[in-house]
Amino acid sequence: MAAKRRFQTIKGMHDLVDKAPAFAFVEEKAREVFSLFGYREVRTPVVEETELFVRGVGEGSEVVGKQMYSFDDKKGRSLTLRPEGTAPIARAYLQNNWASGPQPVKVFYMGPYFRYERPQEGRYRQFHQIGAELIGDPGPYSDVELLVMLLRFLEELGFEDLEVGLNSVGDVDCRERYSERLREFLEPYRDELGADSRRRLETNPLRILDTKTPRERELLEGAPRLRDVLGGPARDHFQVVRDELEQFGVDFEIDDRLVRGLDYYTRTVFEITSADLGAQNAILGGGRYDGLIAELGGPSVPGIGFAIGQDRLVDLVLKIPGASARLNAEAHRRQPVCVVPIGSSYRGHGMVLAQELRAAGVPAICEFDSLRPLKARLKQAARHRCRWIVLFGEDELVAGTVVLRDFTNSTQETISRDGFAATVKARISA
């Protein structure tokens, strides 16, 4: 009979095993910091109507044009695994009538997102984001506060000296004006542009600005700058953001070529990159989207937010000595005590002891396989990374004791069965 085929994860999607504690660690920190700023956690479905992203994120964007996991359901409706979190939050704002609650609305979220991209280090088809959105305030102080919160989160994780790349893409009319100028500027060089940029020259010239091609970068050096065509209100907004960020001691650099890949952005946009990440170097990105909610059929309500690539964030956190030491200490604290009954008739009693340890808040597992020699069972406990073993058999039961063994230095002591959980707790936390 042919062997049955085994299954693998889908290309670009991964089991999180060794990294799972670091994922949980950054999530907890996000909850702690974001709630200090009055944000509440929300969760939206992983699947949405395809049309939400087509209209929200924009047909011209790579994400919608090339990267969506879309499929028809049994009724023939086109659905999509969410490639990003902002359009779903804007949908939730309208659907749940958040406009009738306290303003501005401040929410954060975390979970899996899906993009059909070519997988490589730091770029996956299922990846994870931690994001936040502030909806309902058009003013620049919200931009500043959001960035201050974001940096506070990253500092608490142990990041130092992060620099924010900042730009303003202006309002829709500034962008149209600028796109026209850029098109005029690039037209004479059309033949020197790559296929992607030639296409963008027609559809969305702004996106040519973040090209990685050396020749195109060179050409763009002489290009008109977006910030020189910003209209008065967008320019004033940007000026306040810059001044206030300076007041708050935030390090940032104006990056004229920063335009972001999703079509909903207006005015302030930002990204944080890390040289430690390789080719996929963006830890996070965000910005204002003052037209998005209207685009989705709602009133004209402004918003701003960011999303952090959690997979990339975790890879970086694991390289920070302080953060990985904290994670190790936490893993150590969670190592279970292993209860080893000697003799098959004491397995039930072993379970009682393990329950008493758990009731005292001490993680505990039980080694039930009493048919194997004791040595093999202790080895098994070591494989579970148990440092402490509670051993007992007939002699101990009669004497009203148990034996507590410390694996690391092979010492052991006999302790009273009465109140043993408290004694074990004291020993392991000494």
Which residues contribute to the site for ligand HAM (CB under 6 A)?
A: 84-86, 115, 117, 123-124, 127, 129, 131, 133, 261-262, 282-287, 289, 305-307, 309, 311-312
Comparison of 84 and 290: residue with beta carbon closer to ligand HAM? 84
Residue nearest to ligand HAM (CB): 309
Closest distance to ligand HAM from the beta carbon of 85 (Å): 5
Which amino acid, residue 254?
A: I
The rounded distance, in Å, linking the Cα atoms of 335 and 406 is: 13
Give 296-300 contacts, CB < 8 A, sequence gap 24+.
296/52, 296/55, 296/56, 296/87, 296/90, 296/91, 296/94, 297/94, 298/90, 298/93, 298/94, 299/99
Closest distance to ligand HAM from the beta carbon of 134 (Å): 9
Closest distance to ligand HAM from the beta carbon of 71 (Å): 19
Closest distance to ligand HAM from the beta carbon of 103 (Å): 18
The rounded distance, in Å, linking the Cα atoms of 271 and 281 is: 10
CA angle (70, 75, 81) in 5-degree steps:
20
Comparison of 285 and 341: residue with beta carbon closer to ligand HAM? 285
Beta-bridge partner residues of 47? 81
Comparison of 41 and 406: residue with beta carbon closer to ligand HAM? 41
Closest distance to ligand HAM from the beta carbon of 148 (Å): 16
Comparison of 118 and 375: residue with beta carbon closer to ligand HAM? 118
The answer for residues whose C-beta is within 8 angstroms of residue 106's C-beta and 6 or more apart is: 37, 38, 39, 40, 132, 133, 134, 135
Give CA 112 to chain center in angstroms: 8
Closest distance to ligand HAM from the beta carbon of 344 (Å): 51
Comparison of 252 and 306: residue with beta carbon closer to ligand HAM? 306
The rounded distance, in Å, linking the Cα atoms of 114 and 126 is: 5
Comparison of 117 and 156: residue with beta carbon closer to ligand HAM? 117
